[in-house]
Amino acid sequence: MLTPPGKIKILSEGIANRIAAGEVVERPASVVKELIENALDAGATEILVAVKKAGFDEILVTDNGWGMDDEDLLLAFRRHATSKLDSAEDLLRITHLGFRGEALPSVASVSRVEVLTKRDDRPTGFRFKVDGGKATGPEPAATDRGSSIRVRSLFYNVPARRKFLRTPATEYNHIVNVFRKYALSYPEIKWTLKREDDTVWDFSSSDLRGRIGQMYGEGALSHIHTVEGRTGDMFIEGVVGGGELFRKSRGDQFFFINKRPFISSSLHHAVINGFGPLIHYGQFPLYVLFLRLDPEDFDVNVHPSKHEVRFRDERQAYRTVLHGIRDALGNTIRSGESPVNMPLDKTTDRSSHFKLTPQPHGRKIDGREELDLLFGNRSSSQSRESFGSQTTPVISKDYPYQQNVPKDTHSHSNQSAEHPSTEDHHDSSAQSQSDLAAPLAGKYDPHGETDRLMNSEATVHESTSDVGSVDSSQRINVWQLHRTYILSQVKSGLVVIDQHVAHERILYEKAIDAMKERPWNGQQLLFPVEVELTPDDSAMLEEIAEGLGRMGFDVEHLKGLTWQIRSFPAGIKVKNESKLLKDILRDYRNEHELRLAPEEALAASFACKAAIKKGDPLNLEEMNALIDDLFLTRYPFVCPHGRPVVINLSMKELNKLFLRE
């Protein structure tokens, strides 16, 4: 990706015009950014950034890259000189960071710049100065390989610009943010940040986890989940932080595309959506996510400061992020690696944290036990103790660098990333979650099903147990509410489970499992059911018959558009096999467009259609079985469409509602 040195050219008018015009240098941080990108483009493996008075007095960026010779220098300081673009076609394939060729001349026009640089293949280096547009040099000078660019008295000749700048603390914070982005994006590079000659950070060459450890403290690593995935030709990798690393404000959210930082409200939304009810409104998870995509499939040229990216397929990007996050969290939650913030508990103390104990092979905790574990009445001190070993105090309080930075400045740093829809989130997390799920859910309408309970009597339905059922005397604290929700008392208060989405989550994972590992057994029918399909459905069924077979559906093509169902997944209460099959086919068509893999689409369609519905009465045994099975799933808190499954109302919240002290 890096171009050899000495190829600085003048862009043609055409290219220059195609690049959106705009101020490159808005504030000290933009200078830092441009200089860092130059250093990266020069193939540096060590980069030093030193600022004085938040960059107003001096910004120095030193690298050990290829350097420049006298000719390069002259070209570099002419507007639209860039070594990176040859033609308009090249613009479509931008993989470089500072392609605009505007940076150095723009910086030089509003400051006093001094460059000291030496190319490897030249015996001497050069010094070059520009002072308010007037150049001195290049003249030979003794220096090491690489470039060192010093920018002094920024905006000294633009008093109007100076007026728009914020306090030095804010501007410094912007610089820190720029530095962090690149330090995260290039962990293999040795980075140093100095402020007024004090070393703030000194990061040795590492990998991403290592860099996060350097930046956030080693304790953070135990709350980090690795993200890895792909959708078609789009790859995602990186890390996302669990509950301990949730923030109350933005600032630790990083997106990169082909290593270029960008901000995206819709992808941020995808991350939050991926967390589902594990996170609630007003919390911001830490994430560092790298997308990799063919440069032709996205456009960075939306804004001259290159913060935003337009994707050819926005939905693909959204899905990639969403599923990347879900998979990462799902894996972790089930494997019990790390604590995650308890869903929907708005109390701010940390008594709400839970940790799933890693379970010995072949033995899983039963659902009620698990509920108690999750929502159990652990005291704050206990849970602090239990997590203390994994958490360094510096992480749980503030960012390491924050002692240098006034708190309020955080909110400005990423203001443009504010997503409009997050503004009008309701207080109820359940509501906000279903809003969040909307873009993914598409046509999915969970409440569209006919409400068979026309009269809304507020009876709490408690049924008796079934024939041959296991003894359930010890678990009587389960009720069905309006044939829609399962209520259960847990130590900390009340847990409410949506019966349909809970079952949907269970069936989804079973179906996935059936297709990938253990085929599902099929309850055979005494009277095989014949189904007449439409030509579309029949063709689609041919495609998915094998997958359905592994899920326990034995379907056979008889003739023409007639199919026969001989068995269906054992244990599923199927009222009408042919209707279920048709519903699955119809739903599969929609899901297929939204999901990554056909198996996932099939599993989601099956789960949605075969799951018990709102309005289905459940007896005690069935409710307990549902809870047990729910907590055997990898990701019990979110249904395959992103809706919450479990909501906890703590005694604290209830007491508050009843104005009880």
Min CB(532)–another protein separation in Å: 15
Q: Does 459 bind another protein (CB under 8 A)?
A: no
- What is the contact mask toward another protein in residues 556 to 575, using x (rule: CB under 8 A)? ----------xx--xxx--x
Helix or strand holding residue 201 (H, E): strand 198-203
Q: Residue 66: phi, psi to the nearest 5?
A: -70, -30
Nearest to 457 by CA among 488, 494, 483: 483
Q: Does 153 bind another protein (CB under 8 A)?
A: no
Among 629, 637, 647, 648, binds another protein (CB under 8 A): 629
**Which CA distances in Å does 512 have to 273, 506, 551?**
21, 10, 9
Do 552 and 535 meet the contact criterion of CB atoms below 8 Å apart?
no
Residues forming beta bridges with residue 340, ordered by sequence position: 354
Min CB(540)–another protein separation in Å: 23
Min CB(616)–another protein separation in Å: 11
Q: Does 621 bind another protein (CB under 8 A)?
A: yes
Q: Does 597 bind another protein (CB under 8 A)?
A: no
Q: Does 466 bind another protein (CB under 8 A)?
A: yes
Q: Does 525 bind another protein (CB under 8 A)?
A: yes
Q: Does 159 bind another protein (CB under 8 A)?
A: no
Residue appearing with tokens 């986890």: 209
Q: Does 313 bind another protein (CB under 8 A)?
A: no
CA–CA dist 610, 613 (Å, integer): 8
Min CB(655)–another protein separation in Å: 35
The one segment of 122-130, 337-345, 381-389, 514-522 that binds another protein by CB under 8 A: 514-522
CB-nearer residue toward another protein: 16 or 365: 365
CA–CA dist 75, 130 (Å, integer): 13
CB-nearer residue toward another protein: 363 or 660: 363
CB-nearer residue toward another protein: 135 or 453: 453
Among 369, 554, 616, 653, binds another protein (CB under 8 A): 554
Do 598 and 544 meet the contact criterion of CB atoms below 8 Å apart?
yes
Do 61 and 146 meet the contact criterion of CB atoms below 8 Å apart?
no
E strand spans, 521-586: 522-532, 554-559, 562-569
Q: Does 524 bind another protein (CB under 8 A)?
A: yes
Q: Which two tokens stand for residue 459?
A: 């009876």
The one segment of 78-86, 121-129, 246-254, 464-472 that binds another protein by CB under 8 A: 464-472
The CA radius of gyration of the chain, in Å to the nearest whole number, is 29
CB-nearer residue toward another protein: 636 or 642: 636
**Which CA distances in Å does 386 have to 152, 334, 348, 351, 353?**
51, 19, 17, 11, 10
CB-nearer residue toward another protein: 403 or 450: 450
Q: Which two tokens stand for residue 179?
A: 């530095």
Do 293 and 242 meet the contact criterion of CB atoms below 8 Å apart?
no
CB-nearer residue toward another protein: 199 or 524: 524
Tallying the residues shown for the chain, one arrives at 661
Q: Which two tokens stand for residue 423?
A: 């503004």
Residue appearing with tokens 């096999």: 577
Min CB(617)–another protein separation in Å: 11
Among 625, 638, 646, 647, binds another protein (CB under 8 A): 625
Among 454, 458, 460, 659, binds another protein (CB under 8 A): 454
Sites for another protein among residues 319-378 (CB under 8 A): 362-364, 366
Q: Does 526 bind another protein (CB under 8 A)?
A: yes
CB-nearer residue toward another protein: 294 or 449: 449
Strand, coil or helix: 191: strand
Helix or strand holding residue 649 (H, E): strand 646-650
Helix or strand holding residue 490 (H, E): strand 485-490
Q: How many residues bind another protein (CB under 8 A)?
A: 38
Among 65, 219, 552, 640, binds another protein (CB under 8 A): 552
Q: Does 550 bind another protein (CB under 8 A)?
A: yes
Give, to the nearest 10 degrees, the angle between helix 535-550 and helix 577-594.
90
CB-nearer residue toward another protein: 466 or 542: 466
Q: Which two tokens stand for residue 62?
A: 């030193």
Min CB(465)–another protein separation in Å: 11
Q: Does 476 bind another protein (CB under 8 A)?
A: no
CA–CA dist 346, 429 (Å, integer): 9
Binding residues for another protein, rule: CB under 8 A, are 362-364, 366, 454-455, 466-468, 470, 506, 518-527, 550, 552, 554, 566-567, 570-572, 575-576, 579, 621, 624-625, 628-629, 632
